[in-house]
Structure 1
């Protein structure tokens, strides 16, 4: 680390802080990275973030904003399921976040929710407190209800679709941030995209299921790549498409730009998570790797966010190509692929210095997108 600083390298200040305000969930999704994977630390943490921990977290946020001179920051009230706190409590927390940050910085507050508890009254309260709502939904009803179920095993699509209709209503549309969908390779990708688009979100994002070399995906990586190409084609051919972050980032990277997705590209990841007990951690998708993979040893009671940015795990996600393994750096696609999601590179013997477990699928997907772009940007005859 000392060598990096001596060379002139500087960390990228935070652009997002995730506050785990509620550690439990009312669903039992089969692929959940918090409850169904290697790291089970949620069991030993408080179910709800205490007022003292919350106050310390937002104080650290305000200090970081002032020290770094930030003009904008995003704060996500997360879980578990944050709506278990109730919309009124979430509104008070959002007000507390904004009160702790200087007026010179724009604060965007959002929640990531499964949508089951979003009643009209709740949505109205969230809108009153300017809380943007992103909902997790996995495509069409029969696909969603296979994975996103209650603890009693019942599907949740009916409740979630009712909530999405509320969010899309004119009175609440400004607060409807988007949809998050986990890829299921045995589903119809075009139908999935069209179903999500028809809910009228501001954006959609598709996530590959979190997997590592020690716990690989259920199907071969090429299957996931083919799913993404099918969804991409449906989106690319849509005359009125909804923004899809993964697809737009891939296009931007192929055309020489930067990525807005941690799944792809070499843009620095500038995010920390504050757990319900006040522990400052790395992005919690790393819980799929091994117990303690997210840990930094830091806590909001006695550590600031600038210190977290010097943690080796966070530094590695800001180094770009310098953090990739030799195999990835030798690949002509590495500036687009970026090695894939950091969590998906984990192998017990070599840590995160590996290609993504989805490498073959990402290559198939990127090559397909590049071919489509190339076909549409050929010079005209005689030009």
Structure 2
């Protein structure tokens, strides 16, 4: 399902019907071997992950499998996505990750589970990749561009570069396309957008996703004095680098999503549009959590006080904070509802709206999103206007 459904019962006013979770993020290891300075798990507002159990214990994993199976069957879901996450999930070891993937597939059968691992890439050896490939686990890697760009933020605690190990991992994945999920890249204003895009594409990923640094009204993003919308300007240049390439060498999730929404489609990501959140996190201690990027806002923002031992995933759907993420346009600030592109923007990523005590605000990146949307819209209109002449 991709939208909130309302139902009326016996003359009672229509009420939202929860959208079942279709993406399950399991925190299998709560530590990391890198010390990225923008990390929402360890460096921003909520650093409680540092005191969480290091590993997801077998009993917790078994309960998680049971809860996911219950949810999938209760809602007749034919396919779901499961992400083995961290911290750095490969600290668990590739053999254990492969066994977890097999167990999760058994749990949801006959429904299909697309299982992936999101890793920093430093521990992805040929042997580890072979084990994950055999278990049909797709691998996503984080890289912020070339060596200089990546090492600006993504280093070991000692300060040592992580680039060579990540470069090796991506070259391995380029030779195993069936196991290659894609590359995540955090936007850095100090990096050239076109060069960053070209660096990422050189690794032949099936998909690239550009992410805005996690920031909010209480902790604004660095702007470098580059005008009112430097992130929008950066992304617009990256869009042109992608859009003007023929044939296109990879998909770019952010840009494809913008085009989809501008043509009236429904959003398939929580960072744009109005589709309700359909992802849930299960922490190493068995606690259900909201999307983990909320750790960038304030301590405790991800908490639900529910666990796999005592509560079902339907109980999580009834949590007030989850309900608030599923009501669509009603959750937006009045200024956002009045904006002509609010169905495309959706007020941006939920954590980026935070101002003390409230998420009912525009995104801290509002000017950037407006610039990017207008730029993409202009490019599409120009191409559509030119189509009859090209055909003739």
TM-score by length of 1: 0.96
Match of 1:136 in 2: 142
1:161-211: CA deviation from partner (whole Å, max 9, x where unpaired): 111111111xx2201010000000121111111111110111110000000
Aligned partner of 2:130 in structure 1 is 124
Give the Cα–Cα distance (whole angstroms) in 2 for the partners of residues 257 and 221 of structure 1: 29
Instruction: Tell me which residue corresponds to 1:334.
Output: 342
Contact persistence 1:245–1:260 (CA under 8 A): no
How big is the shift at 1:4? Answer: 8.7
Q: 1:7 — aligned with what?
A: 14
- What is the alpha-carbon root mean square deviation over aligned residues? 1.5
- Counterpart of 1:145 in structure 2 is 151
What does 1:1-383 correspond to in 2, within 5 Å?
6-103=13-110, 105-169=111-175, 172-219=176-223, 222-241=229-248, 242-349=250-357, 351-378=358-385, 380=388
Indicate the SS of the match to 1:9. Answer: strand
Match of 2:3 in 1: none
Kept after mapping to 1: 8 A contact 2:353/2:363? yes
Q: Equivalents in 1 of 2:351, 2:7: separation in Å?
A: 23
CA distance in 2, matches of 1:195, 1:270: 32
Check conservation: 1:254, 1:336, Cα contact below 8 A. yes
| DSSP-derived class of the 2:214 partner | coil
Q: Work out the number of aligned pairs and report it.
A: 377
Matches of 2:315 and 2:202, distance apart in 1:
44
How far did residue 69 of structure 1 move?
Answer: 0.3
Q: Which sections of structure 2, spanning at least 5 residues, go unmatched?
A: 1-5
Contact in 2 for aligned 1:66/1:102 (Cα 8 Å): no
Give the secondary-structure state (helix, strand or coil) at the position aligned to 1:7: strand
Q: How much does 1:221 deviate?
A: 5.7
**For the residues of structure 1 that align with 2:7 and 2:327, how far apart are their CA atoms?**
10
Q: In the aligned structure 1, how far is the partner of 2:213 from the partner of 2:310?
A: 35
Separation in structure 2 between the aligned mates of residue 342 and residue 145 of structure 1, nearest angstrom? 28
190-199 or 4-13, which deviates more: 4-13
Q: 1:80 aligns to what SS in structure 2? A: coil
Alignment CA distance shift 1:325-1:231 (3 Å): same
Q: Do the aligned partners of 1:65 and 1:102 also contact (CA within 8 Å) in 2? A: no
Deviation digits for residues 289-328 of structure 1 (CA, Å, limit 9, x no counterpart): 1001011111000101111111122222221111101010
CA distance in 2, matches of 1:111, 1:133: 5
Runs of 4+ residues over 2 Å off in structure 1: 3-6, 379-383
Q: What is the CA distance between 1:268 and its match in structure 2?
A: 1.5
C-alpha offsets along residues 205-264 of structure 1, whole Å, 9 cap, x if unaligned? Answer: 000000010000011661111010010000000112211110000001111112222111
Structure 1 residues 286, 111: CA separation in 2 closer, same or farther (over 3 Å shift)?
same
Paired residue secondary structure (1:378): helix
Deviation at 1:135, TM superposition (A): 0.2
Give the CA deviation at 1:11.
1.2
Of 323-332 and 35-44, more deviation after overlay is shown by 35-44
Shift of 1:30: 0.6
SS at match of 2:115: strand
TM-score, normalised to structure 2, is 0.94
SS at match of 2:385: coil
